[in-house]
């Protein structure tokens, strides 16, 4: 398949005060205020591939451009003339697939993790013979047919679903539009993970239908929950609860505000053979934790895995207060000598700030804590070596006294 472009690739230059060396070393983004955004540059259509140049017009590579985005240029290839076509996609996909096949025995994983896998703004989660693609940048949206063609050829996947929702797309000026691109699914897909079976709704679930990033944290928490009662707050489809039950927990209560998510969690418990020890409670997480405290309920393991309370810098302070409140309410529900797991997927709340807010909340619950460890995303969610934002997931594992 030939490249979309039929005219010479336009050039976009860095401002004279911007250090180009970082881009030569691998920096993946150039912000709008780092570029010469004259009338010609602003006229380049969103999604076009450009030649990114330093201030002296020396080429740095091929980049995806969007004049309407804060991240105006996303580096695609060190070769400024590289054709961004199906062959290019196939090479990136094959490299990513080789890593996942090294890491996992079954084809259930994140196959493409955006910048870290050389496809800025693109997420692909694989569910056996099906996959969900999130083209969250204008360049990928414009080249979706070539991406899907290459993806099917490299992986043999027959069902491909586009999830076109989320904040990232709106920041790129893209509309929300989800559709089945090839094949089809008629029911939630069973996903084996950590000894449990999860049900992923690829068409109507959150994000791509399942959060693979927590896989290693599910496993460690399951070890802590052996023989104990477990509370999984913000449980979605039962991520921590089902893994804990598969690992020998005595019982688990999943709390979430979504009835469809709790229904999938229940069906996952049935598929995992642990339905007899699994229960759900639908409601606001904060209100439900407070109510459980008033009921005198205590658990050997409490896990709180909320949505991103601090998705951006303006939301940081409010987000940290929310994490502190989660920790305070969660800590009050842990039996003496039990365990508390606190998670954050907020880009803006780095580990030191998240840990400080969490431990403040634990202290305000009148509890003392040992920090057993800190978890992150699984290896199918690699971090980009020059992009701090790609290190987003944090999990604190605590043992509480008193």
Q: Which residues are catalytic?
A: 345
Task: Say if residue 14 is exposed, middle or buried (CB neighbours under 10 Å; 0-12, 13-18, 19+).
Answer: buried
Residue 147 dihedral angles phi and psi, to the nearest 5°: -65, -45
Q: How far is CA 318 from CA 306, 309, 310, in A?
A: 14, 8, 7
Residue 358 dihedral angles phi and psi, to the nearest 5°: -65, -45
Q: How far is CA 260 from CA 78, 246, 376, 392, in A?
A: 45, 22, 27, 26
Q: Does an H or E element contain 392, and which?
A: none
59/48 Cα distance (integer angstroms): 17
Neighbours of 176 (CB within 10 A): 10
- The DSSP result for 304-334, as a single string, is E----S-SSGGGHHHHHHHHHHHHHHHHTTE
118/147 Cα distance (integer angstroms): 13
Question: 342 - beta bridge partners?
Answer: 304, 396
- Decide: helix, strand or coil at residue 356: helix
Closest CA to 333 of 287, 285, 378, 300: 300
């Amino acid at each position: 398949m030939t490249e979309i472009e039929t005219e010479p690739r336009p050039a976009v230059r860095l401002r004279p005060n911007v250090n180009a060396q970082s881009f030569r070393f691998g920096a993946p983004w150039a912000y709008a205020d780092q570029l010469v955004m004259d009338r010609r540059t602003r006229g380049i259509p969103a999604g076009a591939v450009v030649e990114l140049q330093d201030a002296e017009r020396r080429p740095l590579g091929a980049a995806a451009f969007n004049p309407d985005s804060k991240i105006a240029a996303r580096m695609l290839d060190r070769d400024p003339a590289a054709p961004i076509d199906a062959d290019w996609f196939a090479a990136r996909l094959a490299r990513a697939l080789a890593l996942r096949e090294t890491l996992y025995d079954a084809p259930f994983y994140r196959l493409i993790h955006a910048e870290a896998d050389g496809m800025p703004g693109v997420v692909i989660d694989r569910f056996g013979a099906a996959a969900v693609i999130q083209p969250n940048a204008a360049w990928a949206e414009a080249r979706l047919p070539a991406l899907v063609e290459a993806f099917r050829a490299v992986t043999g996947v027959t069902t491909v679903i586009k999830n076109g929702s989320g904040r990232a797309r709106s920041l790129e000026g893209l509309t929300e539009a989800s559709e089945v691109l090839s094949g089809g699914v008629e029911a939630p897909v069973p996903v084996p993970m950590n000894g449990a079976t999860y049900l992923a709704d690829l068409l109507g679930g959150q994000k791509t239908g399942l959060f693979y990033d927590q896989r290693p944290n599910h496993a460690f928490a399951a070890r802590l929950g052996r023989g104990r009662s477990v509370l999984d707050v913000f449980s979605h489809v039962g991520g921590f609860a089902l893994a804990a039950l598969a690992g020998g927990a005595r019982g688990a209560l999943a709390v979430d505000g979504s009835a469809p998510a709790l229904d999938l969690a229940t069906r996952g418990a049935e598929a995992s053979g642990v339905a007899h020890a699994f229960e759900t409670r639908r409601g606001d997480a904060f209100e439900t934790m407070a109510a459980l405290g008033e009921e005198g309920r205590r658990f050997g393991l409490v896990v709180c895995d909320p949505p991103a309370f601090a998705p951006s810098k303006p939301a940081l302070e409010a987000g940290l207060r929310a994490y502190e409140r989660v920790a305070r309410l969660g800590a009050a529900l842990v039996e003496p000598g039990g365990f508390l797991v606190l998670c954050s997927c907020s880009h803006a709340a780095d580990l030191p700030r998240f840990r400080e807010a969490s431990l403040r909340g634990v202290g305000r619950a009148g509890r003392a804590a040992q920090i057993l460890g800190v978890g992150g995303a699984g290896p199918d969610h690699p971090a980009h070596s020059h992009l701090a934002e790609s290190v987003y997931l944090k999990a604190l594992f605590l043992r509480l006294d008193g």
